[in-house]
Amino acid sequence: MKVTSYQELMAEQARSAVRVSGAHHSSWNGRQVAAAPERKVRGAVTWDNTIEYNDEKVNAPIKEMFANARVYNQDAETLQWYREAVKTVFHENTHLLAAEGSDHKDAMQAFKDPSVRALEEGVTEVHSYDNLNRYIDDLGLEEVAPGISSADADPSYRQFTPAARRFTEAIGRDTGLGSEEAVRRLAVVNAEQKFRVAAELLYDNSELPGMVPDQERDASVRRIEAAMKPAFAGVDDLSKLDGDQLRRQSAKAGAAAARAGQDEIRTLKQQWNMPAPEQQVQRAAGVEQNRGSQQGPAQGQAQGRGAQGRGAQGPRPASGPQEPMRTGGPQGPALPPDVAAAARAGLGGSQPLRSATRLAADQQGARRATTTPGHERQGPSHEA
């Protein structure tokens, strides 16, 4: 919609942000108030979804822009004043974008996390800065203030924007979406969901969907999300005295966050590439069968008699078939009872005891105490 007055711009500000970004909706409640002068902010959004604008830095230049509508050859400083005021309007309305079934205010608690705040402010500024001319075009402001589209505008949040830009560049590259689309995907969800969306993009565009069961997807995504957050946590504490140093350190933090996400994906791939317990039992059974087939007739018969003798002495299984388990079909050779018991345990859903040994004849009926306690082996966890 082309606006022709300050009132029309304020009425259309949220809808225009939705159109430009492709978001599902804006959380704006329709209320707009002047920010308290002592707060020293250009604009803000409260947790009840009210927008606040600084009168001197936002409301005054926009009102003057419409008062001087269609005035050509305005000086660069005035055009920059207009442009930065419009950028603030776009920035605050980007904060209010939300996915279906969610709201800006849902992130109130999550926003207390320094990493969440850093990514929220950084992505919001990158998106509003990079797409400002689209916002200007959608509202028809070039016709109101000729030259505003080519005027300069200083980016805000110097500590957050380099981190967000490097982070989204890496995600865009790793997923094939490109940095612009990666920024947009994160901009159209609330602060609480930004890291989650980034983790989902990395997960869905990796090899993990073909390896990880569907029911384990959420836990895996949460692990990637948690791995990326720490790098953003200290960004707001970076020294702001040296602008170049601030930009470099912030960019390093964004790159480190993306790298941590990829590292977690590699860890997940290694864990899900490990064979399942029943596969390990089947492999062991196959090795034992091959050894038996390579023995001579006399040795095989002796071993068979030994196995029968051991089977007579050993405990019978509590349930299941009483005959020895076979592999390779009904006519295949019988497995030794100890291997068969391990196979049945594996197929029953229990991991075989790798450290178990058969008791000698003089050891049966009692357990020997050990002087050194054993260490329990713990497998990889797939929990968040």
User: How does pLDDT run across 312-339, given as a tens digit for each residue?
Assistant: 344 443 334 344 444 444 444 455 555 4
pLDDT-based confidence at 73, cuts 50/70/90?
confident
List beta partners, residue 33: 52
How many CB atoms are located within 10 Å of the residue 266 CB?
10
pLDDT-based confidence at 264, cuts 50/70/90?
very high
- Which of 70-84, 87-101, 263-277 is least confident? 263-277
pLDDT-based confidence at 142, cuts 50/70/90?
very high
Q: Given a cut of 50, is residue 380 above it in pLDDT? A: no
Phi/psi at 52 (nearest 5 deg)? -120, 135
Q: Look at residue 334 in the predicted model and tell me its pLDDT.
A: 52
pLDDT-based confidence at 155, cuts 50/70/90?
confident
Residue predicted with more confidence, 143 or 37: 143
How far apart (Å, rounded) are the C-alpha atoms in residues 27 and 345? 56
Helix 194-204 vs helix 243-273: crossing angle, to nearest 10: 50
The answer to whether 188 and 23 have CB atoms below 8 angstroms apart is yes
Q: Which long-range contacts (CB under 8 A, 24 or more apart) does 343-349 make?
A: 343/281, 343/282, 343/284, 343/285, 344/317, 344/320, 345/281, 346/277, 346/278, 346/280, 346/281, 346/282, 347/278, 347/281
Q: Look at residue 276 in the predicted model and tell me its pLDDT.
A: 59
How, if at all, do strands 51-53 and 32-34 pair? parallel
Neighbouring residues of 166: CB distance < 8 A, sequence distance ≥ 6: 250, 251, 252, 253, 254, 255, 258
Q: Coil, helix or strand for 326?
A: strand
Q: Look at residue 37 in the predicted model and tell me its pLDDT.
A: 85
Q: What mean pLDDT is predicted for residues 20-48?
A: 95
Q: Given a cut of 60, is residue 277 above it in pLDDT? A: no
Q: State the alpha helices, DSSP H only, in the chain.
A: 6-21, 60-67, 76-95, 114-130, 132-139, 141-144, 161-175, 179-187, 194-204, 217-228, 230-233, 243-273, 277-294, 297-313, 337-347
User: How does pLDDT run across 348-373, given as a tens digit for each residue?
Assistant: 444 444 444 444 444 444 333 333 33
How many CB atoms are located within 10 Å of the residue 372 CB?
5
Q: Given a cut of 60, is residue 34 above it in pLDDT? A: yes
Q: Given a cut of 70, is residue 284 above it in pLDDT? A: no
As given in the structure block, the two tokens for residue 254 are 């964004």
User: Residue 161, exposed/middle/buried by CB under 10 A (0-12, 13-18, 19+)?
Assistant: buried
Residue predicted with more confidence, 361 or 225: 225
First-residue to last-residue Cα distance in the chain: 46
Q: What mean pLDDT is predicted for residues 193-215?
A: 97
Q: Look at residue 325 in the predicted model and tell me its pLDDT.
A: 41
As given in the structure block, the two tokens for residue 70 are 């269609």
For the chain, what is the largest distance between any 2 Cα atoms, rounded to a whole number of angstroms? 108
Q: What mean pLDDT is predicted for residues 218-226?
A: 98
Q: Look at residue 314 in the predicted model and tell me its pLDDT.
A: 43
User: How does pLDDT run across 37-68, given as a tens digit for each residue?
Assistant: 888 899 999 999 999 999 999 999 999 999 99
SS (H, E, C) 25-67: EECCCCCEEECCHHHCCCEEECCCCCEEECHHHHHHHHHHHHH
What amino acid is encoded at 87 in this protein?
K
- How open is the CA angle 325-329-333, to the nearest 5 degrees? 55
- Which of 151-155, 220-224, 264-268, 315-319 is least confident? 315-319
DSSP state of 305: H
The answer to whether 337 and 324 have CB atoms below 8 angstroms apart is yes
Q: Given a cut of 70, is residue 195 above it in pLDDT? A: yes
Task: Tell which residue, 113, 106, 135, has the closest CA to residue 193.
Answer: 106
Average pLDDT, the chain: 82
Q: What mean pLDDT is predicted for residues 173-180?
A: 98
As given in the structure block, the two tokens for residue 4 are 């022709």
